[in-house]
Every structure is written in structure tokens, then in C-alpha cells.
């Protein structure tokens, strides 16, 4: 196997070491490949294919934006519950591409279905149709409004199919995760495994995302694969719950894109018994593992936020409601003033006060307790008697910062994740298309 080192190189970051990545195992029934379709001009892999020959149960959560990509539109019209192939391209969002973008997907799907059918059919002429157009879904990420490069993608279908491999070791997963990146500086992958009786269920996932990240999905893609035999309806339920406080609990810049999706595919190779429902202990165990995996990937997205130097946790506790806790958390997390203060390692807790007030949620300022890490900075409606500027400045030098707001008016808690704003964020987005 040849590895394209250009997948790992980014002129704004150092190459990641293989040892930094989690060990992922094979997902039985899944084949993957990635190649360069020359969508970028540097030869890096930019086109990926995930193929489940026998088909997979499928569910997804998509962006809530009112403008969506042609890929998302296509997926909504496809066979939603049973999928055989997912093709992912980077560099081009296939959004605001009009009739050309939509028709391109149809052409690509027909060519891909035919190529896969010929590969798998005993009749090499492909008379027996093993893969249909409706079995294929798409994901795209990149620049909005540019002509979709259908010719380059179509020309790449045969070599992409030829490179499909059933073995997915760490190197393969890293390679594939790298192929879906845009402004990311490193691939993002995660793995969980649970025991059900004497059987092991594997869950593997990859993600991309670095900027234009906000709740209700963001400019990010995540693809999760499991060998468990779990129905699409249950997958939809557990995925939606897992996303709610993981991928929908992150923000880089409070911008939301047009292409965002988290999708899960179950190859059905590990039988766990019929008539399972969302309250079944086995499904709950799977859901907990799925949430853990999603949180891992979501936090990796924030760590790799465009220009980010600091990982920030905003924790709201003892709120009167979950909605109120979320509103306050994101009001703080999305504040450029808070994010730049953290970038400058300035313990300016007044900006947190501002963020709480900006949320519009009713609070009792005399009950508020604000902490940076283990340090109380404000309580009883004023600066804390324990406040120590020197200790706070030392704490702000850490790579990971926790800001906790105790409202003391209820029992609900919410935690969200963000990063600082640095000048690098401006540089990256000022030159995004170059």
C-alpha cells in the first residue's frame, strides 16, 4: 500500500505523528478507499469512498440551515434507511451550483453504481444490478458557489473502486480521515468497542471540521461505522441523542454551514437479537459508547479550530432549565471578547459577566459564582474575596481553560466547547480560496 504523505502536510502546521492517533480496528462488511482526483493542485487525497457490499442500515443528522448543498438534497431523496455507498469530496461544497451540481451527482451515482456492480457481479458485464443509484449518498465540503468538478470525479471512479480495501488499520483510517479535510491541520478519528455477551461490537468514526462551527451542526462532516445489527429507526434515535450534547455542543465562530452531516452506518454483521428498542440495556450500552465517540470527535474539532491555541470548556450548572443553560453557555462561548481575552491569556471575567447578560436569560447576580478552573473570581454580586490576579494569569497560560458559571437557581447543567480567537483565524479565512 502506498501512502500519500501530502495528506498529512499542512503549511500552517507540523505533521502529526502516527502515535498520536487512536488505534482503530476493522469494521466487518465495510470497504474504504481514498485517492487524489486533482481537486486540489497539490496531489493530496481529496475523494473518498465507503462501500458496504451487503448494504448498511443508515441514519443521519444534517444541518438545520435554510440553504443546503446539492449533496444533502440528494441524500434526502435517496433510500434513507439502507445504503451501500458513500462518496465524499473535499475542495468543493456543491452548494449554489444550480442544475449543474444536481445533475452531476446523478451522473456520478450512475457511473459509480455501474462500476461497483461490474466489480461485484459474477457476470462481468454487469447485467445483474447489485448496486442501484438510490443506494448511494454523497457528502461534500469546501468552497461554496464554484462549479462542481464532476468530470474529475467521474474520471476517478474506477481507480477509487479499484483501491477499495476491507482491512482498516490505523494507517488506513488516518489516510481516509485526512482525505476529507479542508482547513483542518490534522485528521480526526475515534474508536469504541463494547461487549454484548460473548460478542464484540465495534464503532469507528472520522470527522472533519475546523471553522464555521456552530450548534445544530457546523461546517463539519462525521461518518461513523459499526458492525452491530441495529435497525435504522433505532440508529436515528441514538444518533440524534448523541449529537445533541457533542457535535451540537461545540462552536468555533458561531457560523453554520450548508453541508454539515453526521451519518452512521451499521453493517449488521454482529447479530444482537431482534426486537430491541431504545430502552433495551444493549441499545443503551451502544448509545453510551456512541456518545463517547461523538464527544471525542467533537472535541477534536474544537482543538483543531482555525487558528486555535486554547481549548475552552464553558460549564453552566444549577440552571433553572436546560434551554437557559445552553443559551448562557453559547452566549459566553461565542463572544469574540471572551475568546480574544483567552487568546491573550487575560483573566478578564467581566467579559463572562457580559456574556451572561447578553444571553437575555434571567439570573440572580447575588447567587452567581464564576470560576476559572479552580479559582473563584466572582460571587455575591462582586469580585470574590479569594480573587488572586497573579494565580489567574498563571492559569490562563494553560492549553485548556474551564469557565464555570454556577447560577444557583435550579438543577440543570450544560457544557459546551469552544476555542480562542487568534490572528491566525483571520489569516486562514482571508485566504481560504487561495
Give catalytic residues, as residue numbers: 219
CB 144 within 8 A of CB 96: yes
Calpha distance 71→49 (Å, rounded): 14
Cα(364)–Cα(357) distance, rounded to whole angstroms?
11
Q: How far apart are CA 194 and CA 289, in angstroms?
A: 7
Q: Do the bridges between strand 82-89 and strand 136-140 make them parallel or antiparallel, or are there none, so unpaired?
A: parallel
Question: Distance between CA atoms of 383 and 362, rounded to whole angstroms?
Answer: 20
- Strand ranges for 259-360 from DSSP E: 261-270, 311-319
- What does DSSP assign to residue 242? H
Who contacts 160 (Cβ-Cβ below 8 Å, separation ≥6)? 33, 34, 35, 37, 47, 49, 87
- In contact, 251 and 215? CB cutoff 8 Å: yes
Reported as half-sphere exposure (CB side, CA atoms, 13 A), residue 400 has a value of 7
Cβ-based neighbour number of residue 395 at 10 Å: 17
- CA angle 137-250-69, nearest 5°? 30
In 10 A of CB 203, how many CB atoms? 25
| DSSP-derived secondary structure for 130-191 | -S-GGGEEEEEBSBTTSPP-HHHHHHTHHHHHHT-BS---HHHHHHHHHHT-SS-SS-EEEE
Q: Distance between CA 237 and CA 393 in Å, rounded?
A: 44
Alpha-carbon distance of 30 to 264, in angstroms, equals 12
* Residue 421, φ and ψ in degrees, nearest 5: -105, 125
Amino acid at each position: 500500500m502506498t501512502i500519500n504523505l501530502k495528506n498529512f502536510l499542512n503549511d500552517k502546521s507540523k505533521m502529526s505523528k502516527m502515535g498520536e492517533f487512536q488505534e482503530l480496528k476493522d469494521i466487518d462488511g465495510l470497504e474504504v478507499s481514498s485517492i487524489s482526483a486533482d481537486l486540489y493542485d497539490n496531489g493530496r487525497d481529496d475523494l473518498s469512498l465507503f462501500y458496504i457490499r451487503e448494504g448498511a442500515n443508515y441514519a443521519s443528522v444534517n444541518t438545520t440551515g435554510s440553504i443546503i448543498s446539492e449533496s444533502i438534497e440528494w441524500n434526502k431523496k435517496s433510500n434513507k434507511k439502507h445504503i451501500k455507498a458513500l462518496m465524499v469530496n473535499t475542495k468543493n461544497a456543491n452548494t449554489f451550483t444550480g442544475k449543474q451540481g444536481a445533475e452531476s451527482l446523478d451522473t456520478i451515482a450512475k457511473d459509480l453504481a455501474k462500476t461497483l456492480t461490474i466489480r461485484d457481479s459474477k457476470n462481468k458485464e454487469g447485467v445483474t444490478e447489485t448496486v442501484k443509484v438510490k443506494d448511494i449518498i454523497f457528502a461534500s465540503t469546501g468552497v461554496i458557489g464554484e462549479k462542481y468538478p464532476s468530470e474529475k470525479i467521474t474520471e476517478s471512479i474506477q481507480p477509487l473502486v479499484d483501491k477499495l480495501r476491507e482491512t482498516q488499520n490505523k494507517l488506513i483510517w488516518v489516510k481516509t480521515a485526512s482525505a476529507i479535510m479542508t482547513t483542518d491541520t490534522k485528521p480526526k478519528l475515534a474508536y469504541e468497542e463494547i461487549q454484548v455477551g460473548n460478542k464484540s461490537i465495534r464503532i469507528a468514526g472520522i470527522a472533519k471540521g475546523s471553522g464555521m462551527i456552530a450548534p445544530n451542526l457546523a461546517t463539519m462532516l462525521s461518518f461513523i461505522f459499526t458492525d452491530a445489527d441495529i435497525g435504522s429507526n433505532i440508529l436515528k434515535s441514538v444518533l440524534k441523542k448523541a449529537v445533541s450534547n457533542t457535535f451540537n455542543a461545540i462552536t468555533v465562530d458561531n457560523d453554520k454551514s450548508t453541508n454539515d452531516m453526521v451519518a452512521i452506518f451499521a453493517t449488521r454483521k454482529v447479530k444482537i437479537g431482534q426486537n430491541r428498542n431504545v430502552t433495551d440495556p444493549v441499545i443503551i450500552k451502544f448509545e453510551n459508547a456512541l456518545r463517547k465517540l461523538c464527544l471525542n470527535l467533537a472535541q477534536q474539532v474544537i482543538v483543531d479550530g482555525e487558528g486555535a491555541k486554547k481549548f475552552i470548556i464553558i460549564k453552566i450548572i444549577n440552571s433553572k432549565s436546560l434551554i437557559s443553560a445552553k443559551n448562557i453557555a453559547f452566549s459566553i462561548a461565542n463572544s469574540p471578547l471572551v475568546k480574544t481575552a483567552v487568546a491573550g491569556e487575560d483573566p478578564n471575567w467581566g467579559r463572562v459577566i457580559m456574556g451572561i447578560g447578553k444571553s437575555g436569560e434571567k439570573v440572580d447576580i447575588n447567587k452567581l459564582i464564576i470560576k476559572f478552573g479552580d479559582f473563584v473570581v466572582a460571587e455575591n454580586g462582586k469580585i470574590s474575596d479569594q480573587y488572586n490576579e497573579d494565580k489567574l494569569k498563571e492559569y490562563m497560560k494553560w492549553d485548556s481553560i474551564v469557565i464555570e458559571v454556577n447560577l444557583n437557581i435550579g438543577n440543570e447543567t450544560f457544557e459546551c466547547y469552544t476555542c480562542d480567537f487568534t490572528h491566525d483565524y483571520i489569516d486562514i479565512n482571508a485566504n481560504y480560496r487561495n
